Structure 1
Amino acid sequence: MVVFGVLNYYFPNTIPSLTNASAHFLLVLFSKPLYLFIVQIIGQLLHNKNQSNQSFAKSDYLLFPIPLISIGIMLTFTYWNKTLSSIPELNWLISICASGLLLLNLLVFGINQYNQKRQQEYTQMQLLCQKESDMTEYYRALVQQDENQRVLIHDIRRHLASIDTLAAAKETDKIHAYIQQLQTSSCLKESLQRCDIPLLNAILCRYANQCETRQISFHTDIRSHTVDFLTDADLTALFCNLLDNALRAASIPDGFIELHTYTKTNSPFSIITVVNSCLTDPFSGPGRTLVSSKNDHRRHGFGLKSVQRVIDRYDGAIKMYFDLPTLTFHTILTLRPEKC
């Protein structure tokens, strides 16, 4: 109909004067390339989007009447083509209405795709928040375990006294059972002190164990009162996501991770730096964007979004770059305690 209106405007009465086959051929000759051009543009816009594994919602059926109504309007224009073609001023209205209907259908399709994407992102963020909450509770449990260990060490004299009493009574079996119970107690597991914040210390100890398992050198330098203004949830979201990314990249021969926190001189900002080994430049995507190494690319970026959420809450900033000569990836965060 767009082509029909344009042709009738510049060549009045040309199409109605032709036979049906000739008119049809002329319209097809101009309309099909236009259709191909529009489809190519849409294809390019959707080329880099991951459309796989998307469920078809029942609410999408509500969109079907819109293209059906558009087809009905087009058929009406076709039925009236002889009358409208005799009025040159209305030929532009045909083209404008046809273009408007085309844009309307594309707009509805685009809004639907955008809403689906936003809904998926919202769901992923909700799952991420739930994961962070669960991780916070987990690290709190580790802190409680560490406290129980301190209590057990404090009471070790009483345990030795009880063992001595059993030894005096020659209760060998009971002594053996008592010692086995103490040895298998989780309270006696080794716990390193890496910082003066109990929750963060539990987080760092967990990642230190993972680095030791993967033969990754892990060094931390957490200065006192540099990140103690962060809430438990923010500590978990920030350091777990940063160290998860660093651990994934540094899982190579002679890999290492360095974590430092300090306060900038004559400034209210606290600085957090993470330097880790990285064999390839992660900024190799279109527009120098980060490329995920995860198998599930749909979850790519949500960890950094969680980090960004904490940064925004404390009026901070983040900078990331890859140093090719040393094959290291650098992450630098600045946080303002007064913001919270």
Structure 2
Amino acid sequence: MVNNSIAILVQIITFLLGLFSTYIIFDFMSRLGRTLYYKKYFYVIGYIGFTFIIFLSKMFCGELLNLFITLAATSAVGYFLYNNKKIYIFYYSMYIVFLAVFQIIVASLFQFICLKFNINFYNTDILILTVSTVMQFANLSASRLFIIFYKKKKIERITPMQYLNFLVLPVFSIFYITTLMMYIQVYLSMEDIILLLANVVSIIVLNIFITNIFGSISKNNELKSELQLYEQQAKIQYEYYTSLESKYKNSRKIIHDMKNHLQTIEHLYQLQENEKAQRYTEDMYKMFDKFIHKCYTSNKVLNIIINDKVQRAESFEVELNCKIGDVDLDFIKDIDLTTIFSNLLDNAIEGAKAAAEEKNTLLKVDSFNDFIVINITNSINKPPVKGDYTFKSTKKNHKGLGLQNVRMALEKYEGTMRIDYDEKNFKVNIVIPSN
């Protein structure tokens, strides 16, 4: 009776674990990056078909052939239902291989722990079932971590406590399931089977729920970061239009006094005070220059950003030179333009401000073949300090996330950023495909 009960239990839990394993793979493909969106019943049919193929493969094929079938089926489903970019076939294949290697490591680690702590299983089926259950919970965690590292979401996106809370549940689940499997070897009735299945299903559902919350937290932090960028852009535009309004009011005052200025210059010439008249005229030109809105580029947002940064550089006695060619930046979203240029120009101005001798910054934007090339060079007082992922900020209470945000913005357009520096200059080179 006990052996029959265990056999029934093994078959039911194996079926549930198979469905759970398929869910992990489909969840991975939906989160990695999608270009295809169909009606839900297409994905239900794909899920059922994929699960059926994997079950048949495990029943009638060896381990190596089963791996190839899983790899081929995952790549096919991913390509036709989630992302039809050919590079993603490689990602899907790499993911399946990663899981296969990870399962071997987990199984070996589990065996080592059992030997180390003298954990004994008297039924082979229960041992195999326990190892399979442990691996599926580990796979769910590994799958989410794989996505995080692929998307290059640094740990700053998720707090260490949130990260720890995410790992606690899978570890607890593994411990809990292992303990249950050990106890059912002693005695098992039909009521125990029902109770155990309810526990296994609950643990699986809870893990799926918590990992979805984990993904939502990460997405929420991304949205907060994006909102901060929108606020930064809005602040720049507000300050820009406020400055325009102030210049407009001051220009009206000058226009009002223009007759008096012209009469003064004319009177100086009549008195043969040519030098004074010339200086007076030059002062008038300088006064007019303050109210001129310079047009550096045809892109409205970038023009606002540059005018704002030029004004900021002047307040720090930093010379900001801009050389912008005939480039089309309309394919880049306004929020990403703000992220790229505001962060880099702010960093450049901060670096030049601290320079002991020449305080200058140079911005060059031009096109070369099918690429947009952006170069920003600024003088520095000393070489920057490099951290784990980026350069450490010299600003007080500042995390130095500007360059990380720039990299994330560039990734959307397959752009690259290279940083070089020496004792006197800091250089940022950006290349973005224009089509």
Using the size of structure 2 for normalisation, the TM-score is 0.43
**Residue of structure 2 equivalent to 1:320:** 418
Question: Could you tell me how far apart the structure 2 residues matched to 1:333 and 1:324 are?
Answer: 21
- Contact 1:135/1:236 (<8 A) preserved: no
- 2:391 pairs with one of 278, 291, 295: 291
Query: How many angstroms apart in 2 are the aligned matches of 1:49 and 1:236?
Result: 24
Deviation at 1:210, TM superposition (A): 3.3
**CA distance in structure 2 between the aligned counterparts of 1:226 and 1:110, rounded to whole angstroms:** 44
What does 1:1-340 correspond to in 2, within 5 Å?
3=114, 7-9=121-123, 49=155, 71=176, 77=181, 79-83=183-187, 110-147=211-248, 152-157=253-258, 190-191=290-291, 194-197=294-297, 200=302, 203-223=305-325, 225-226=326-327, 229=330, 236-254=338-356, 255-264=359-368, 267=369, 269-277=371-379, 279-280=382-383, 284-285=387-388, 289-293=389-393, 295-297=397-399, 303-304=405-406, 307-308=409-410, 312=413, 317-324=415-422, 327-334=425-432, 336=434
1:66-93 per-residue CA deviation (whole Å, 9 max, x = no partner) reads: 969985x667545533246xxxxxxxxx
Supply the AA of the counterpart residue of 2:232.
K
Q: Which amino acid aligns with 2:421?
A: D
CA distance in 1, matches of 2:367, 2:181: 71
Letter in 2 for 1:131: Q
Question: In structure 2, do the counterparts of structure 1 residues 151 and 292 end up closer, same or farther at CA, with 3 Å as the change threshold?
Answer: same
After TM superposition, give the deviation of residue 139 of structure 1 in Å.
Answer: 1.9
> 1:118, CA displacement in angstroms?
2.0
Q: Contact (CA 8 Å) 2:407, 2:417: kept in 1 or not?
A: no
Give structure 2 stretches of 5+ with no counterpart: 1-109, 127-133, 149-153, 189-195, 263-286
Other structure's SS at 1:321 match: strand
In 2: Cα distance, 1:233 partner to 1:138 partner: 17
Residue 112 to residue 139, structure 1, CA distance change in 2 (3 Å):
same
Q: Which has the higher contact order (CA 8 A, sep 6+)?
A: 1
The DSSP-based 3-state class of the residue aligned with 2:321 is strand
CA distance in 2, matches of 1:249, 1:101: 56
Shift of 1:249: 3.6
CA distance in 1 between partners of 2:160 and 2:202 (Å)? 30
State the TM-score, normalizing by the size of structure 1. 0.52
CA distance 1:127–1:258, change in 2 (3 Å) = same
Task: Give secondary structure in 1 for the equivalent of 2:349.
Answer: helix
User: How many angstroms apart in 1 are the aligned matches of 2:398 and 2:223?
Assistant: 17
Report the Cα distance in structure 2 between the residues aligned to 1:298 and 1:115, rounded to whole angstroms.
Answer: 25
CA distance in 2, matches of 1:233, 1:105: 37
Encode CA deviations 1:251-300: one digit per residue, 9 max, x unaligned.
42235321122343xx4654332112454356542xxx323426343955
2:375, 2:429 within 8 Å by CA — same for their partners in 1? Answer: yes
- Give the residue type in structure 2 aligned to 1:82: V
- Return the alpha-carbon distance in structure 2 between the equivalents of residues 155 and 232 of structure 1: 38
Distance in 2 (CA, whole Å) between partners of 1:6 and 1:261 is: 68
Structure 1 stretches lacking a partner, 5+ long? 13-33, 85-93, 162-186
Distance 1:196 1:281, change over 3 A: closer
- SS of the aligned residue for 1:82 comes to coil
- Report the secondary structure of 1:297's partner residue: coil
SS at match of 1:330: strand
Q: Residues of 2 paired with 1:103 and 1:247: CA distance?
A: 53
Count of aligned positions: 256
Which region of structure 1 is more displaced relative to structure 2, 198-207 or 269-278? 198-207
Please report how far the alpha carbon of residue 243 of structure 1 lies from its aligned counterpart in structure 2 after TM superposition.
0.7
Q: Provide the aligned C-alpha RMSD in A.
A: 5.4
- What is the CA–CA distance in structure 2 between the aligned matches of 1:99 and 1:281, rounded to whole Å? 53
CA 1:138/1:5 → structure 2, altered by over 3 Å: closer, same or farther?
same
**Contact 2:375-2:427 within 8 A present in 1 as well:** no
Q: Check the 8 A contact 1:259/1:274 in 2, yes or no.
A: yes
Tell me the alpha carbon deviations over residues 119-147 of structure 1, each in whole angstroms, 9 at most, x when there is no partner: 11112212322331332233234344445
| Matched-pair identity in % | 14
